[in-house]
Structure 1
Amino acid sequence: MFTENPNQLIRRRQFSFEMLQAIELLSLPNKGGHTLKEIADICGVNEKTLRRWRAEENFQKEIQKRVLQSVNEMLADVMDATVARAVDGSGKHAELVLKSLGILKDQHNIVATQVAEDYRSNEAIEREIEELKRELAKFDE
């Protein structure tokens, strides 16, 4: 007999009406001004059920999908406003427009430095210091 693991069952499950209501409310900025308890009440479930739903991967993905849909719906208006500010002379807005179009890119140059590790013992280093002191003393004479 074939059995599915719980993640596969969750993935296949259709969202109930109550779950869809919760997804809509949870995808709003600041949860539409509601607490989790209020959202649970609106959806007709208890808060523990809502918290369990929120732990499910597909439920989280659906919330993210709805958030992205909302952002995409507003993106054209945001770009129009940004372009208008750039045309009015705002350098920051012009930079943002050019970067969003891929015309202007930030350059980050990272210079790697290597530090040589010294594996000598303290005694070996002290001997070398004493030897250097003797050689310096010869020059002073």
Structure 2
Amino acid sequence: MLKFFKSAAKISAVSAIACTLSFASTLSANAQTQRGLEGSYVGGSFSTGGGVTRLNVYGRYDVRQLPISVRGNVTLVDGSGSTQTFFSPAVTYDLPIGNKTNAYAGAGLSFGSGDSTAFLNAGAEKEIATNIVVFGDLTVPLDNNVDAGFSVGLGYRF
């Protein structure tokens, strides 16, 4: 039964990503002069709960002249007295939805600690002050044994 609920949650998350992108593309079509967030950045986030602590270091490389970015994050997970490290590179399609604001969606591969899984991700990013970016990201693994994750963090744009 638990496997059924995990599968249903993943299908719901992927559906939410698809709906978000459809809505964002409608906004973009109505505002073709939007430039979105340009440039690359590095940043991080921290979360704790349920006896598990996570430290994430994120990066975005903006591929000039194309609406795509190469993203990656290194996640350190400390739980039950052991630390695991995961590396998750991804390629995303970036959609400008406002001034210095993007929505994005893509896919990647997470690997580490002997395991690997493909994932889908979607999120948004916005410059909130000169070269300071806030971002939020939903990651949906395509493996039934791994839970979806959401993180919010800050970055420095260069």
Q: Which has the higher contact order (CA 8 A, sep 6+)?
A: 2
Query: Rg larger in 1 or in 2?
Result: 1
TM-score of the superposed pair, with normalisation by structure 2:
0.22
TM-score of the superposed pair, with normalisation by structure 1:
0.24
**Structure richer in helix, relative to its length:** 1
**Structure richer in strand, relative to its length:** 2
